[in-house]
A = this chain, B = another copy of it.
Amino acid sequence: MNTPCYCAAIRSAARKTTALYDAALAPAGVNLAQYSLLRKIERLGPVSLTELASVAELDRSTVGRNVKVLERRRLVRFKSADDQREAAVGLTAAGAEALRRGEPLWNNAQRRIETTLGAEGAKRLRTLALAF
């Protein structure tokens, strides 16, 4: 990876990191993107797709499609809100269970990154990520 392109470098790092977390989370039956989304849904409680997209800094239609995958797997459920335009999404029991099973796996992945980068590197990564 000696590309001088910052963007290509970040994308490469993102692909490799994602592969690492996906593999780590596989026993929980979710990948990193799904785990991440499930955690946000857990944290926010029943939440609209628009708000979820805003928090995740993703396009709303992307969130809609990603949530649909989770719904198909019965990890989340749509509830009707007062405002009928909204589609409040909440965790199912299976979704909460996936989070519970995923947590130690995610922790392992986090520790592996810290081992790879060292404490100082991990801190710098966090700082750099905040700059975007």
Contact = CB atoms under 8 A, between A and B. Distances in A.
Contact of A6 (B57, B122, B130, B131): B122
A124 interface: yes
Specify how many copies of this chain sit in the oligomer.
Answer: 2
Contact of A121 (B8, B126, B128): B128
Q: How large is the interface on A (under 10, 10 to 19, 20 to 34, 35 or more residues)?
A: 35 or more
Contact of A10 (B3, B125, B131): B125
Nearest to A25: B7
Given A7-B20, A7-B21, A10-B13, A131 B122 contact: no
Contacts of A16: 57, 132
A6 B110 contact: yes
